Amino acid sequence: MTGLVWTALALPLAGAAVLAVLGTRLPARGAGWLASLVMLVAFVCSAIATIMLASRPHEERAVVETAWTWLTAGSFQVGLELWFDELTAVMLLVVTGIGFLIHVYSIGYMRGDEQERRFFAYLNLFVFSMLLLVVSGDLVLLLAGWGLVGLSSYLLIGFWHQKPSAIKAAKKAFVMNAIGDVGLALGILLLFIELGTTAYTGVFAGAGSLDSWTATIAALLLLVGAVAKSAQLPLHTWLPDAMEGPTPVSALIHAATMVTAGVYLIARMNPLFHAAPYALETIVVIGVLGLLMAGAIALVQTDIKRIIAFSTMSQIAYMFVGVGLGAYWAGIFHLFTHAFFKALLFMGAGLVIHALHGEQDVRNMGGLRSVMPKTYFCMLIGALALVGIFPLSGGFSKDAILASALEVGTPLAWVAYIGGLAGALLTGIYTFRLMFLVFHRRMSPYAEAVAPTAVKHHGEGPSSMLWPVYILTLGAAVVGLLQVPGLTHVFFDWLEPIAPAGMVEPSAAQEWLTTLVAVSIGVAGIAIAGHLYLREFDATERMRLGRGRLVDHALEHRLYWDDLYAVAFERPAQWLAAVLRRDVDRPVAGWLPTDGLGTLTAFLGRSVSVIENGVVRSYALVIALGMAGLLLALLVRAG
Amino acid sequence: MITATTLITVPLIAGIVILIVPFAQRLAGYLALLVALGMVGAVAGFVYRFEPMAGYQFGDDAEWIPQLGIRWSVALDGVGLALAAVTALVVACAIGYGLWARRDRTHATFGLLLITEAFLFVVFAARDLFVFYVGFEGMLIPLLVLLAVWGGDERRKATVQVVAYTAFGTLLMLVAILWLGLTAPDGPDFSMAAAVGRGNDLVFWAFALAFAIKSPLFPFHGWVMPAYRQSSPEVAAVLSGVASKAGGFAFLAVLVPLFPEQSARYAWLFIALGLIGFLWGALLAFRQPDGRGVIAYSSIAQMSFVVLGIFLLNAQGSTGATFQMVNHALVSAALFLLAGWLESQAGSGDFRRLGGLARSRPILATVALVLGMAALAVPGSSVFASEFLILLAAFADAWWLGTIASLGIVLAAMYMLRWISAVLHEREGDLVGQLRPPDLRSGALLAVLPLALALIALSVAPAQLTERVDPSSQMMVAGAFADKEAR
């Protein structure tokens, strides 16, 4: 069983290495198929391993295995340790399964790009990093995966590196994630100093014995990492810019897998967070604020991918609320369903962008329903699942999170409940604003000029792009049925053992009640979107929702977070660096007045010019003879 | 039997022979490369045979100048061996690069590089203070000649600066060594063992100054910029990659064990300077206009961080510092070779005139990315492993120390990303457009590749290094650590 997991981990790395080394010796088309094949095998390995895990008795389902010692110094020791349990299995299946589909999709999407091989090498590297993150059994190794997904994300966001905006976005993502990495690293250091180990086994066993301040600080430091990686407040500003990368990258990394790593980390470290209730409350607060803010910003965006990106941020905020409330299973369940419908929406958007020759502005779309019926249908399912319309997947998982807030019942939980429902309204509006602007209303002149001919010649996309979308559509429709309140209980039962201190579980009544309310609100949101955006539309009209200038301006500028960071950190740091370089470094480091050493300079000047006059041999000979003398003395004396 | 003495004498004799025997130019180069590769093999044999728990090994001890109590006493422990190993690799790659670049006056170039290597081995293996002095001072002479003769336009000024700074430091150290050796209780004795704990503060500072200048530790880095900018790529690689390690090594293997009391008492000062230098260098690297500037200031930052790690005086700090020196040797040597190669192909290292080099140069892009990511310590890399150990030591000493130090890691990400994209990405610079520099191939690639592969190997299993280093490095700081605890 563990052999299969090791194989799943090693294969993508091998794939990336082969693609990198063979490079142009490989046929361009072959690269995509090779990378996809690797992913398929990794998925099959993961699936078999999961089945084997399921066939074990409950108490034997956390398997730990060390391959080799990775790093030691004094009492500090880190092993290359594998941790395979129910949560790992869920993550493995999502990463390899969705990852496989997106690899296949990319074969079509990247066709004709001269850098195809490099793209698939990066993609495989990403999957390896992500798998390392989820199968690691030691926090330091998790941090390694954490950093490597950041690296592959950087490479893929900046994949089209001749575009300055792409490189800027890639660097921004990397630096913000480096801040997160440092937070996570400091948390790990604190845990090691307190517990003497960074292995999960030791951390889980010792978490309960930490005093509450230590546990809280450690948990908050881990949270810094989680917030950065999952693009949550206040380290979220890199995610919208990350849409500069190719669309499959957005689907895989910035929707289905990497950005949910923060949720995984919190769920994984639940024994520690259990000992740190303040940290859990902080997570809920971050989640509620984030889901509302991102939902509101999504209302006014005009780039199709950025709308979906803010939606992702908002949905991950829901997951944060879930794990923050102690309903770890619900957070992971939403992670699971979200991977399907959000990857689907991104890939659908990719089909649209493809048909429009790279156009991403929704103002230049419209009326595509008749031209791209398959895409429309699939994206409609995805959009309904995102809004949480019964019985599609997103509803079950989101309502499970909200119903858990009912079950918890504290004032903060009520805030989360109401905030979450308000977020459902926003979700309804922005999702169907996108759908209506893209697929309904009258075609924009640009779409009319481009789309029909493109679809007539190439169809809605090559089958390598369409089939993954179909499969995800099916998934987005049905995976929610794993956990229907009062009927099926698969997801909760499967994940229950990962939280030794227990998990919050709402009653079936609470869930159905929440579903009733949330679906009504979602439908209301769709109706509002219809009212606002289904009318005839002039492409130059601005996409405003409200009437207040201030609100619109603020939302269009994403609530000024970027400007805040520029003023608070970026500019001061650049100024400081410039001043140090210009005025300070020389006087500080140049304390020895070498310019004034006239005689020395003159003397050296002379000897240097002697060398330059071509008698280098003789000068070197002097040194050589000196050394030979020394050596001789050495040998004589030593002999 | 191959011992540390063999390690020293072979490159020394080979260097002298290549320097004076008038071989054909190419032949001299290939001979030098052969010897350098032989040294890599010899050191690899040492690494294989090394017993981590057995202390100093492969040693020789014989009378040298008995009237003065000076003995030819050399041996390697884990720390010395790690640095000797990386020295052998870096020198071999530097010679390989010089060979590819068709340096003129082959005999002198390669002969002097081999002689430098021999003196570096002397430093890493010395068990006698006089022997140590010979290595510490001697290694600079060939490097200075290389800088003065083959350097850039302002080489003369650069040479004067290096000589002035380092001579200033080592002169005081020589006096201190003589004092220590001649005042030994049982007649003159220069062995390091006899000097433990005997020095007073003045002697301590004389040593510390020499090491701080060589490392370079902030604010003793005045000589670095001109030297790293003006020397040829292979000399810059040796200077920043391994010659600077003599300073860091000497802090750990000479200063701290010989002066445990003073080391513990003044540790705070070195920690403070290390911390300042780490951030200072990183900030300055962020504003440099060219590749060499970035690498030079990042070297100052990294070596300051190493000194910080050493003076935390615990296992993670000292092992982490040793590991960090090995990593930095590989990274900075490779980066200097790469930057030098770029300058030679594109005509300048100025960021404003480069850019867009990744296009249709996949090998260059891959190698530069791997090195850049290693330099910014991406989690999972060997540099990450060593920095993590030092951070751990700092955090254990005082939480705020570790927290402030971690800032430098974010800064490192910023300046290395700037370097990567300024060279590889965005729009093509005018030089790139005009000169169409080729992809990184043949000799230049072969010179850089081993360094990159060594970094990757160390990323996969860093414990292979730390397990060998850890017992030795702990031993080195043990005395000072006890003193610190007692305080």
Considering only residues 46 to 85 of chain A, which have any Cβ-Cβ distance to chain B shorter than 8 Å? 68-76
Q: 3-state DSSP call for residue A372?
A: coil
Q: Which residues fall within 8 angstroms of residue A571, CB to CB, at 6 or more apart?
A: none
Measured distance CA(B163)–CA(B100) in Å, rounded: 29
Angle between helices A164-195 and B382-397 (to 10 degrees): 50
Which residue in B13, B16, B279 has the most chain A C-beta atoms within 10 A of its own C-beta, making it the best mutation to test that interface? B16
Assign A128 a pLDDT band (cuts: 50, 70, 90).
Answer: very high
Nearest to A76 among B63, B111, B316 (CB): B316
pTM of the model: 0.90
Question: What sign has the CA pseudo-torsion B281, B287, B289, B294?
Answer: positive
Write out the DSSP string of B314-346.
Answer: SHHHHHHHHHHHHHHHHHHHHHHHHHHHHHHHH
User: CB distance A633–B64 less than 8 Å?
Assistant: yes
Tell me whether A636 touches chain B (CB under 8 Å).
Answer: no
Measured distance CA(B454)–CA(B462) in Å, rounded: 11
Q: What is the pLDDT of residue A616?
A: 44
Residue A555, pLDDT > 90, answer no
What are the structure tokens assigned to B29, written together? 């180069």
Q: What is the pLDDT of residue A602?
A: 52
Label residue B186 exposed, middle or buried (CB < 10 Å: 0-12, 13-18, 19+).
exposed
Q: What is the pLDDT of residue A218?
A: 93
Q: What is the pLDDT of residue A548?
A: 61
Task: Tell which residue, A353, A541, A379, has the closest CA to residue A447.
Answer: A353
Residue B485, pLDDT > 50, answer yes
Main-chain dihedrals φ then ψ at residue A451, nearest 5 degrees: -60, -50
Number of domains observed in the structure of chain B:
1
What are the structure tokens assigned to A256, written together? 């289905």
How many Å lie between the alpha carbon of A203 and the closest alpha carbon of chain B? 17
Q: What is the pLDDT of residue A629?
A: 61
Task: Tell which residue, A509, A541, A243, A244, has the closest CA to residue A366.
Answer: A541
Which residue in B392, B423, B432, B439 has the most chain A C-beta atoms within 10 A of its own C-beta, making it the best mutation to test that interface? B392
Measured distance CA(B125)–CA(B250) in Å, rounded: 11
User: A217-255, pLDDT tens digit by residue?
Assistant: 999 999 999 999 999 988 888 898 889 889 999 988 888
User: B174-189, pLDDT tens digit by residue?
Assistant: 888 888 888 888 888 8
How many Å lie between the alpha carbon of A580 and the closest alpha carbon of chain B? 7
Task: Tell which residue, B379, B346, B367, has the closest CA to residue B447.
Answer: B367
Say how many CB pairs under 8 Å bridge A and B.
Answer: 230
What are the structure tokens assigned to A495, written together? 């994940």
Residue B275, pLDDT > 90, answer yes
Q: Which residues fall within 8 angstroms of residue A523, CB to CB, at 6 or more apart?
A: A389, A428
For residue B219, is the peptide bond before it cis, meaning its omega torsion is within 30 degrees of 0?
yes
Q: Which residues fall within 8 angstroms of residue A229, CB to CB, at 6 or more apart?
A: A146, A149, A150, A177, A180, A258, A259, A261, A262, A265
* Mean pLDDT value of segment B263-291: 89
A394: amino acid identity, one letter:
G
Task: Tell me the ipTM for this assembly.
Answer: 0.90
Q: Which residue has the tokens 């399907």?
A: A340
Tell me whether A165 touches chain B (CB under 8 Å).
Answer: no
Residue A357, pLDDT > 70, answer yes
User: A66-98, pLDDT tens digit by residue?
Assistant: 888 888 888 888 888 899 988 999 999 999 999
User: CB distance B145–A611 less than 8 Å?
Assistant: yes
Domain range for B449 is 4-486
Residue environment code for B460-483, b if the CB has 16+ CB neighbours within 10 A, otherwise e? ebbbebbbbbbbbbbbbbbbbbeb
* Mean pLDDT value of segment A457-472: 87
Assign B287 a pLDDT band (cuts: 50, 70, 90).
Answer: confident
Q: What is the pLDDT of residue A493?
A: 83
Tell me whether A594 touches chain B (CB under 8 Å).
Answer: yes
Residue A110, pLDDT > 90, answer no
Percent of chain A with pLDDT over 90: 41
Measured distance CA(A24)–CA(A21) in Å, rounded: 9
Q: Which residue has the tokens 């103002």?
A: A363
Assign B75 a pLDDT band (cuts: 50, 70, 90).
Answer: very high
